């Protein structure tokens, strides 16, 4: 008889959820605890993916759980939301604390195909090592073009906790993002599933979300230059042009990198001045301890900034 289970895919944490015909317990569970497969969906052999948003509070609660990407089956969506609402976050855990604040996750309800005699996965798979995110590998060409998407990968987690036989299960729509996701997943490590006290290999899926939007950049480590007013702009510099430069850059290791002009002001000199000025920016780096190592809380961030050079003329006395 097939073992049915739901895979919870989120960054940076996820958990394995086995099928159960018993209603979910009312007590609170740790973040990523198993979610029971709804009986109505199970008997109808219905699969799907539910995307939810949530807010992790400093008190350790998961609040404001909302379905933002329905699976197409109400029972799956309701089960996902109810299960999440009972999770608890440990703010003192270096990995669990990544779930504080506003986030989105995807719960994939999946009935896997298993060969006869294949032992079902037992227990809970736990990510070890660095949080499983790939943003630091974001292909530069796609970042510049503003290309985003989600790559769903399938792979085997070996009895040593390593990733093997990785493949794209659902494309992001961009081959470069998919290839980069495959390269990234090869570095992931897990605490393997265990059956009867022995580790075993299991099939798994994970979602790599390529998203450029960020809610808030880190604070400046030092007062930044006033780029507009530090350059000697003259009225003739703005004659016949729009006069607004839009710059896109990455924040990596507290520095502004890969600075380029996303939208020209119409003046090469003003655009170069913007690139040079932004390149001097320095940002505060926040660290978290994962397995005894300091890692960046925000390993990579994409920023877009607009400079209206006409403002320099307005401030002149």
Q: Domain limits of the chain?
A: 5-210, 235-314
Top-level CATH class of 5-210?
alpha beta
Can you list the pairs that 191-194 forms with residues at least 24 positions away whose Cβ atoms lie under 8 Å? 191/125, 191/126, 191/127, 191/128, 191/161, 192/125, 192/157, 192/158, 192/159, 192/160, 192/161, 193/16, 193/121, 193/122, 193/123, 193/124, 193/125, 193/157, 194/122, 194/123
Residue 177 scores a pLDDT above 80? yes
Q: Which residue has the higher pLDDT, 163 or 314?
A: 163
Give whichever of 20-34, 82-96, 168-182 has the largest mean pLDDT.
Answer: 168-182
Q: Cis omega (within 30 of 0) on the bond before 12? A: yes
Q: Does this model's pTM top 0.75?
A: no
What pLDDT, in 10s, does the model give residues 296-317? Answer: 777 778 788 889 999 888 765 4
Report, as an integer, the average pLDDT of 215-225.
85
Confidence of residue 290 (pLDDT cuts 50, 70, 90): low
Report, as an integer, the average pLDDT of 272-282.
93
pLDDT of amino acid 281: 93
pLDDT of amino acid 6: 36
d(CA 156, CA 232): 59
> How high is the mean pLDDT of the chain?
76
Reduced to 3 states (helix: H, G, I; strand: E, B; else coil), residue 134 is coil
pLDDT of amino acid 114: 42
Q: Which residue has the higher pLDDT, 197 or 164?
A: 164
Mean pLDDT check: name the lowest of 13-27, 61-75, 113-127: 13-27
With vertex at residue 12, the alpha carbon angle to CA 18 and CA 214, rounded to the nearest 5 degrees, is 135
What pLDDT, in 10s, does the model give residues 223-248? Answer: 999 999 988 988 998 999 989 999 98
Reduced to 3 states (helix: H, G, I; strand: E, B; else coil), residue 253 is coil
The answer to whether 7 and 17 are in contact (CB under 8 A) is yes
Residue 179 scores a pLDDT above 90? yes
Neighbours of 208 (CB within 10 A): 25
List residues bridging with 246 in a β-sheet. Answer: 263, 306
Q: Which residue has the higher pLDDT, 41 or 58?
A: 58
Confidence of residue 80 (pLDDT cuts 50, 70, 90): confident
Report, as an integer, the average pLDDT of 147-169.
90
């Amino acid at each position: 008889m097939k073992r049915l289970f739901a895979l919870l895919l989120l960054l940076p944490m996820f958990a394995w959820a086995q099928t159960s015909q018993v209603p979910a317990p009312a007590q609170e569970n740790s973040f990523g605890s198993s979610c029971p497969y709804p009986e109505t969906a199970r008997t109808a052999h219905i699969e799907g993916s539910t995307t939810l948003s949530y807010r992790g509070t400093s008190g350790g609660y998961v609040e404001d759980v909302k379905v933002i990407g329905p699976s197409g089956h109400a029972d799956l969506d309701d089960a996902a939301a109810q299960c999440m609402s009972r999770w608890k976050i440990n703010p003192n855990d270096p990995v669990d604390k990544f779930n504080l604040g506003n986030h989105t996750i995807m719960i994939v309800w999946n009935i896997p195909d298993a060969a006869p005699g294949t032992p079902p996965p037992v227990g809970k798979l736990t990510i070890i090592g660095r949080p499983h995110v790939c943003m630091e590998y974001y292909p530069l060409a796609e970042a510049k073009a503003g290309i985003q998407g989600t790559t769903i990968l399938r792979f085997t987690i070996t009895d040593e906790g390593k990733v093997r036989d990785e493949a794209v299960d659902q494309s992001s729509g961009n081959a470069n993002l998919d290839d980069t996701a495959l390269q990234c997943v090869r570095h992931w490590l897990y605490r393997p599933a265990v059956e009867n006290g022995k580790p075993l290999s299991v099939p798994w899926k994970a979602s790599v979300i390529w998203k450029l939007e960020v809610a808030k950049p880190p604070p400046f480590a030092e007062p930044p230059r006033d780029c507009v007013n530090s350059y000697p702009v003259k009225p003739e510099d703005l004659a016949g042009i729009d006069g607004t430069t839009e710059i896109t850059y990455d924040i990596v290791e507290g520095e502004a990198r890969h600075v380029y002009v996303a939208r020209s002001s119409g003046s090469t000199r003003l655009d170069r001045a913007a690139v040079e000025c932004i390149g001097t920016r320095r940002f505060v780096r926040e660290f978290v301890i994962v397995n005894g190592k300091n890692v960046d809380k925000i390993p990579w961030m994409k920023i877009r900034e607009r400079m209206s050079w006409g403002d320099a003329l307005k401030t002149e006395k």
